[in-house]
Amino acid sequence: MKFKIYILFTLFSTGLFAQEKSDEQKAAANATNPLAFVTKLQIQPNYTFKDNGGEQVSIFNRVMQPSKTIGLPFIKSKNPKIYSIYRLEMPIVSQTFPDNVGDATGLSDFIVIDAITFKLKKGLFGIGPALIIPTATSEYLGAGKWSTGAVVVYGTKAFGLSLGALGQQFFSFAGNSERPDQNYLLLQPIITKIFKKGYFINYSPIMKFDWENSTYNIPIGFSIGKAFSKSLTMFIGTEYVVTGPGQGDFTIRLNINTMFAK
């Protein structure tokens, strides 16, 4: 009798641990997938050592809200394979430079994205409008321009990896006439490998192609993360700009991500 009870307890425990492992892996996948149908609240502090001797602390606060709508909250989607991801990014920045030119602390510009997402046979595809609101409290922390554009996202799985790309094209249409016009592309390749117990490594640098000034920033860097539960993940990583106006800048970033599945 005791032996049977021991066997049942062992089977139950094994199944429970396997379920926890599965939940952690799913959480890691959702955390690194920009089109996952989960609500996300992210806080991402970055510390950057500027090549010219300056320093910058930036805290990116993001809210990502999925909805069974198309484009706008009041247009309901009748197809379960089509939904929207609404994303708001609110950066807080503090920076100092050796000559004190550019020193500032405060809000940067807000970014709002509405990605209409389609479930495909192989992966997810999202497309929609994007808007930059000039909320910067200092001229050194924002562009001083209203900018609009489009966002395109794609994600799939292949070779045991999660693969994807996020592109955001912006151009200015209003704002301070004395500030330069804006016309640039933010391109972010996303490559993730998820391991057992929710550990993962991620490659997702944000490249900037400035069409207005014919310049571009190309960073490289990796992150190492862990899913602690189905609703909490964290990662830490580094990034180094190899070419462009920010060449030589080195960044350490931490991301704390909480999730609430629908």
**Are 60 and 80 spatial neighbours (Cβ–Cβ below 8 Å)?**
no
Could you tell me the residue ranges of all domains in the chain? 2-261
Half-sphere exposure for 49 (CA within 13 Å, toward CB): 6
Tens digit of each residue's pLDDT (9 = 90 or more) over 157-213: 999 999 999 999 999 999 999 999 999 999 999 999 999 889 999 999 999 999 999
User: How far apart (Å, rounded) are the C-alpha atoms in residues 106 and 98?
Assistant: 19
Burial of residue 177 (number of CB atoms within 10 Å: 0-12, 13-18, 19+) = exposed
Contacts of 144 (CB under 8 A, 6+ apart): 134, 136, 175, 176, 179
pLDDT tens digits for range 43-89:
999 999 998 889 999 999 999 999 999 877 778 888 889 999 999 99
CATH of domain 2-261: 2.40.160.40
Rounded CA gap, 142 and 96, in Å? 15
* pTM score: 0.86
Number of CB atoms found within 10 A of residue 201's CB: 17
Q: How far apart are CA 242 and CA 201, in angstroms?
A: 21
- Mean pLDDT of the residues in the chain: 89
pLDDT tens-digit map of 20-51: 456 899 999 999 999 999 999 999 999 999 98
End-to-end CA distance of the chain: 43
